[in-house]
Structure 1
Amino acid sequence: MLLSVLIVVGIAVAPAAVRLIDFGVRVGEGAAAEKAVAPFYIAPTPAPGPAAPGTIVRQEPVVGAPQGAIAWRVLYHSTDVDGADTLVSGLVIAPDAPAADGTRTVVSWAHPTTGTAPRCAPSSGIAPFVFIEGLSDLLAAGHVVVATDYAGMGIAGPSSFLIGATEAANVLDIARAARGIEGIGAGNRVVLWGHSQGGHASIFAAQRAARYASELAIAGVAVAAPATNLGALLSADIGDVSGVTIGAYAFTSYAQAYSSRLPNDPLTTILTPAGAAAAPKMAELCLLGQNSELHTIANPLIGSFVTGDPTQAPGWSQLLAENTPAQAPLTAPLFVAQGAKDTLVRPEITAAYVAAQTQGGTAVESHVLPDATHGTVALDAMPYLMKWMAALP
């Protein structure tokens, strides 16, 4: 069982039996603590009033942190797509040696898709640290690592799946939150690092940082297999089980967040009757641990999920465009890793984004890894990423 989980997240186990044992220990610790964790994700009563984004409402130590590190689960203020105050959960991990205030770079990790329901939040799982790709390398380099769950996961609330403005705020505000934990040295210098959905979140955070969190100095943005063209990705993937699953997550998320901009009963305007009935059920299931249930629902819908092209449908096409990262150049250096064997985020779609950024003048370092898949690309890219980060001004 442990081996299968390691393979899912792309950790190379053959040469690293010690890592497997360490993983097992941490899973055991996390499993023992999991039931005790649940109350952390119950919203405070009475509900706290609005506060500055990044303000911590609640924090507690987390067991099972990597050797030489200390970690906290946090509940912090952020904002949603409409700019409204919302509570979001996540993790803050730091080297256990104390550091002077402001002396450590904060790496804000944006996770790939794990689901959209509250219980799918990575920070609430039995092994939350394992799924932060490159965590040990980043801690060894002396960085503070933060990992948002995204709004609607952990703490119950509307889904933020592939909603760029909400994801961006969540990613930036947990970097702000880290500065509220004494003794860890978290500063204003931030590197954004995300995989798949997290790449989408990281790019949006880079686009919005100057006006949303101007006190943060974004030193660089690094992405692995990022979701950079939602319409193209949806069109490419909708004919298989993964595409139906991701589509169900996205359509239900948008139907909630943008209800005032879509027709009544919005799912029925783009999905078949069977698809519209199934999508909300799928949105309650997590990719990890409930994959077979998702496949049971999604497989019969292959070829009969959507009623038309979402990129051409009134309302839906505009939302997909708004939540596709802009082609305008980024002001921070950009690192992009793409697996040549990725069948979910297609290499040609990532290549088009890299070309647009390069032509626009962004300082881009791009790596196409010939043997990497969607699941393995972030870990495969770590040697290149760490070298790139070390060279950032």
Structure 2
Amino acid sequence: MRSLLAVCAASLLAFAAPASAQQVGSLVSADPVTDTPPGMQAWRIRYWTSNGAGARQEVTGMVVAPREAMPRTPRRVIAWAHGTSGVAEKCAPSNSPGFYEATPGLAEMIAQNYVVVAPDYPGLGSKGPHPYLIGVDTAYSVLDAVRAARSVSGAAAGDRFAVWGESQGGHAALWTAATARGYAPDLTLVGTAAAAPPTDLPANMRQASDANARAMLLAFTLYSWSQYFGYSLDGFTNKTNQGVIRRLSENNCIELHNKPKLGTILGILAVRQAMKRRDVTRLQPFAATMQANSVDPASVPGPLLIAQGSKDTIVAPAVTRSFAKAVCKRRTPLQWIEVEGGSHTDSARGNATGQTLDWITARFNGQAPPDDCGRF
């Protein structure tokens, strides 16, 4: 009996010990990266976050800082929220050899003495299904990455930050802004920049003009939500196409300039055919989840910058513009960057990079935010 009690007591202690270690925003590890571009030092981090239900999860990301002597005061932080990289664990941007090239403006941010905190999001680089386009879960992982970066020796990250994201990351940035004050009152958000953000998810699914991209992203969404929420795909498509959706999602990571393989192309065509027969934006429970994870314009505080390519075929410009107008009706200060002739990737690159970073720097410097609401 005594030995049984001893075992039970030891078990209780074993379970109790990690409780404080699992505090959201606490750093688990920071592994230095040896092969970095000139002037940069970087760490692959693991840290604790939580989902919307409060369950703790260990997740991953990157912290990049200037390679120079420690400053006397903490550095300003930019949280970079990446675009869609996939929904499989292997698709974490922090594991990609192209991380530095794929992160817009990274060299410029480091040259301006920013610390760049780049979370992978839950389920990318960590166990568990990735909650693709689930706003609260993704936002919490961004906020907790900023918290964790403060414990990275050598980075000198402070608690004042801006968030900048593109595509899926633009959605994450807007949700980060909406949840920051309630979830992370220990941090100070100075501004939010969203490049080509999906805002009204059902409207964008219907209006985006690239049918192949819509099919691929729909496959990611269906697979992610079926894994994360346990949703059945029976109402959308047959068992054969469900296997196609699973293979597309488990086998494909999105990287710039990579052309899809033949099997991927054929899988996309199969999903496109299924889309002709079923409108997932009106099919429950997917429709309700899309609506719940669309961005409420009233929930996003300013100051705010939105950049949108006028020829974007993945995030419909009309949907983004409608969201921006709704924000303006709330009298929220908004800078609007229209990238004339720009594609989906142009809203965070090229001239938009410098404009966005200038806007972010002005927010840190306490300048009055510009307001383009009367212009469009």
Q: TM-score range with shorter-chain normalisation? A: 0.7 to 0.9
CA separation of 1:222 and 1:135: change in aligned 2, threshold 3 A:
same
Residue matched to 2:23: 52
- Residue type matched to 1:286 in 2? C
Query: After the TM superposition, which segments of 4 or more aligned residues of structure 1 sit over 6 Å from their partners?
Result: none
Stretches of structure 1 lacking an aligned partner (at least 5 in a row):
1-46
CA shift digits 1:103-132 (9 cap, x unpaired): 211111010111111111111111221111
Residue matched to 1:387: 358
* In structure 1, C-alpha distance between the alignment counterparts of 2:317 and 2:113, rounded to whole Å: 32
Structure 1 residue aligned with 2:212, among 241, 245, 255? 241
- Kindly state the Cα deviation for residue 382 of structure 1 after the two structures are TM-superposed: 0.9
* C-alpha contact 2:62 2:117 (8 A) present in aligned 1: yes
Structure 1 residue aligned with 2:285, among 315, 337, 344? 315
Structure 1 residue aligned with 2:341, among 341, 350, 371? 371
Does 1:88 pair with 2:68? no
* In structure 2, C-alpha distance between the alignment counterparts of 1:334 and 1:236, rounded to whole Å: 24
Residue matched to 2:246: 280
Q: How does 1:116-135 map to 2 (within 5 A)?
A: 116-135=87-106
Residue matched to 1:25: none
* C-alpha contact 2:241 2:270 (8 A) present in aligned 1: no
CA RMSD across the alignment: 1.9
Residue matched to 1:169: 140
* C-alpha contact 2:30 2:152 (8 A) present in aligned 1: no
- Kindly state the Cα deviation for residue 304 of structure 1 after the two structures are TM-superposed: 2.4
Does 1:150 pair with 2:126? no
Stretches of structure 2 lacking an aligned partner (at least 5 in a row):
1-16, 367-376
Greater alpha carbon shift after TM alignment, 351-360 vs 376-385: 376-385
Task: Give the TM-score normalised by the residue count of structure 2.
Answer: 0.86
CA shift digits 1:220-267 (9 cap, x unpaired): 0001101111101111248721111100111111122222xx4xxx11
Percent identity between matched residues is: 32
Structure 1 residue aligned with 2:235, among 249, 265, 269? 269
* C-alpha contact 1:112 1:197 (8 A) present in aligned 2: yes
* In structure 1, C-alpha distance between the alignment counterparts of 2:37 and 2:207, rounded to whole Å: 38
* In structure 2, C-alpha distance between the alignment counterparts of 1:55 and 1:290, rounded to whole Å: 38
Structure 2 residue aligned with 1:222, among 193, 205, 208? 193
Residue matched to 2:260: 291
Residue matched to 2:14: none
CA separation of 1:84 and 1:329: change in aligned 2, threshold 3 A:
closer
Q: How many residues matched? A: 342
CA shift digits 1:139-166 (9 cap, x unpaired): 1111100111111111221112111111
Greater alpha carbon shift after TM alignment, 354-363 vs 181-190: 181-190
Structure 2 residue aligned with 1:332, among 298, 302, 308? 302
Does 1:140 pair with 2:111? yes
* In structure 2, C-alpha distance between the alignment counterparts of 1:311 and 1:297, rounded to whole Å: 20
* In structure 1, C-alpha distance between the alignment counterparts of 2:148 and 2:309, rounded to whole Å: 33
* In structure 2, C-alpha distance between the alignment counterparts of 1:388 and 1:359, rounded to whole Å: 21
SS in 2 for 1:97: coil
